[in-house]
Structure 1
């Protein structure tokens, strides 16, 4: 069975997807671990995990171990993945603030989109992608035993570790506040354990899966469905280069064509499975139509805020004049930044509230200067877009920090709170 090497696309825009500075603020230790584990389980719904399914089945399916031995091997496989994810996730967290800048460069976005299209073509049977020969030799040399399964888990953890990117970014602020390497390692280990659990279960029962009658027929259709998902993901990843309008129309078109093909033209399967394909095709078409109805882009607005270029002098002058400041970190390659500028900032009520602040913009499209880097380290700015509100004394209003794209209905309460705090601080 062919297996696929993959780089998860979601990491490319990881720094722009966090919804708040610390999504786990105020939660108990055990509840944080539960939420993180659930998040790891949720990662199994992302396309970057799909290629691990045939890898797992092909590796464990041919084993002749007893049921107890196979379960032990599956647990070792799970542990290996968790160890690798925890180690690499911690390194990413320590690496930090410029993850979005490094992974969202146009050349990287183009490369990731091309990789996804290449994999999608493989899913449709145009060619086969396999693990590098060196990794195949490593796997075959440790084909039996717990040690071999552990090494295989470590290997796949290395190949698929970028899948944790968005969650790593979301956890950065929380872990940074705890200031404990041990706590950070534990959080990332639990995240990886959640991600690896379904794959470990799949490993334990891979022999039974391979023996299902007619598995080859319906799995051909499933592979093509994953191929359709990968094409849509490629268009989504390329949105910063294509523009929001073109990207969304392309996703709608791909969904419509894919629904017709998978539901009514694809030839694999027979009997009841043919009826299932028809239903699935209708669902895909309905989803594409709903996406068109609710999400087809409009013209968008224009941010008319008179932003001032970032510099320490601007901040010092505002502080000396007891004027509140909003500092907006953005970049041309950042798609959530574009959404914030076109959908949220142009709103009249937002524009009116922004007049209470000295608007300062830090553009990190190429690279932040040393002064901006120092500010980002001091205020733990982990990516773009980030918007920091400061009162007239130069103190951040932490409750109002904006990280990632927020629609107007979620942005307005934060900026209203900032205005209220600045008015209180100035004695108005």
Structure 2
């Protein structure tokens, strides 16, 4: 049984990289300094709306069955629904991340050794098993209340608009990077994050009171005493929740975290005999902290990459990012097999089975990433990497013919030098200005695929790496459409004569990203990416738009429906 529990511990560590596996659709670094999203009423009478959207067009999640009949391919768009559920999906992702964080916190050295003492306190103090169980249930409930209250406090303090601004602001993304680096250093043993001892002692003294008040302060004391271990995990979770801009994100994340943290205390109170099967506290608890430190460091680079791409610093090209990840996870593997150690580590006399298995997985992951240094797509992690176009040395470039910098009219494509070499997947030849794309479509007599994307759009990178690379989809995109890529988070200043005050938001539009995001919001009342819209050369929407759709056949069917609608 003890061995099984150790496997469980190892499993929790392995699952931690999933913290950011469920990025929301809205993950681009959009600046809201100049764009303000409203309910759309302000722009309903605008004469400058660039797309003519049918009045009866309602948006849905775009998931269409591949086996749709030919009749459905040729029907009008009226009456179709586009039920957007991105916010629910995002909140579920935050909740799951919270659960994983809570399970990880349970096996930290500040909490794990306290479990037998706490459970024994309930069973002995209660006098009877039933009373002890009821006290443990209340204790677990108070843990949930305390952490959810923390999440709600953040939501109330900042509000949904401020959280959204935090998630899309370059300064705060850089600040998030620094915070995660500090958390990683704490886990490595450089210092401990602690709360003032006088405050902790006062709260702990109140836990001696009986009844509900005593149990509440016992739970509060756990939260305070364990802060040096749980603080970085909670901080990372809150940063992740804030980076998604969801109103209830922090509260939902704390709900998942607290449920996972409370379950073991309640479970062992129900079945005290299981305590005998718990592995003994020891040096392996510090190893958990160090492994989490490596993961914190790897995650921090993602936030730095967000800023780097949006501001065109060009520090973290894809191969530089990969090189750093290879080194980080390589050092994690060396740590796991005992080749390197930190200040608070106990001597490692032998490798346990869970540690050996985890080492194999980590080193395998490192080997998987190495071909990416020469352009391998690395589809499993492509969503978290900088765009493939930022790769300086790419052996796969030989598979694609060079794409022209000129438009169909022979003029140089607008914004080509800004986006093409660092933002566009290799092998594609889009336009980066909507009006220019429409003009090219008229010349070529093709429909237009408008791709609202972003430098830091995780789901956009996943679509490009996993769906656009499919031969069937790639052929349709290259041969049947004029592609227009509109980056909504670019910070490049517009020429003075191109800046304007949005009739939709009333804000001054100063950057290319502002212009594209204002266009998306005013035309579709949406600010999530990716969003794929198929229009004719006059700008009329042909079929309902779709968001990220990782089913290749479904996305190909979406493109085919657009082609059929255009040919009518």
Give the TM-score normalised by structure 2. Answer: 0.52
One of 546, 562, 568 as aligned partner of 1:401: 546
Alignment of 1:302-313 (within 5 A): 302=426, 304-310=428-434
SS class of match (2:282): helix
Is residue 2:103 matched to residue 1:74?
no
Alignment of 1:196-211 (within 5 A): 196-204=258-266
One of 244, 251, 270 as aligned partner of 2:318: 244
Q: Distance in 2 between matches of 1:197 and 1:162?
A: 19
Q: Distance in 2 between matches of 1:80 and 1:287?
A: 37
Which residue does the alignment assign to 1:356? 481
Deviations 1:223-270, CA, capped at 9 Å, x for gaps: 122222222223344445312222122212222222122213346266
- Distance change >3 Å, CA 296–CA 378, structure 1 → 2: same
Which residue does the alignment assign to 1:4? none
- Distance change >3 Å, CA 206–CA 110, structure 1 → 2: farther
Q: Distance in 2 between matches of 1:307 and 1:136?
A: 59
Is residue 2:187 matched to residue 1:123?
yes
Which residue does the alignment assign to 1:381? 526
Structure 1 runs not aligned, ≥5 long? 1-7, 27-31, 173-183
Which residue does the alignment assign to 1:230? 296
Alignment of 1:289-368 (within 5 A): 289-292=367-370, 297-298=375-376, 299=394, 301-302=425-426, 304-310=428-434, 324-334=447-457, 337=460, 350=474, 352-353=476-477, 355-357=480-482, 359=484, 361-366=486-491, 368=513
Tell which deviates more after alignment, 53-62 or 211-220: 53-62
Which residue does the alignment assign to 2:99? 44
- Distance change >3 Å, CA 393–CA 314, structure 1 → 2: closer
Structure 2 runs not aligned, ≥5 long? 1-17, 29-58, 65-80, 82-86, 126-131, 208-212, 309-315, 377-393, 397-424, 492-510
SS class of match (1:403): coil
Tell which deviates more after alignment, 52-61 or 325-334: 52-61
Offset at 1:38? 8.8
Q: Distance in 2 between matches of 1:380 and 1:53?
A: 45
CA contact (8 A) 1:9 1:112 kept: no
Offset at 1:328? 2.3
Which residue does the alignment assign to 2:338? 264
CA contact (8 A) 1:120 1:230 kept: yes
Offset at 1:138? 8.3
One of 403, 407, 420 as aligned partner of 2:561: 420
Offset at 1:359? 2.7
Q: Distance in 2 between matches of 1:158 and 1:261?
A: 24
Q: Distance in 2 between matches of 1:213 and 1:308?
A: 58
SS class of match (2:177): helix
- The structure whose residues are more often helix, as a share, is 1
- Distance change >3 Å, CA 15–CA 258, structure 1 → 2: same
Q: Distance in 2 between matches of 1:381 and 1:221?
A: 45
Offset at 1:287? 3.1
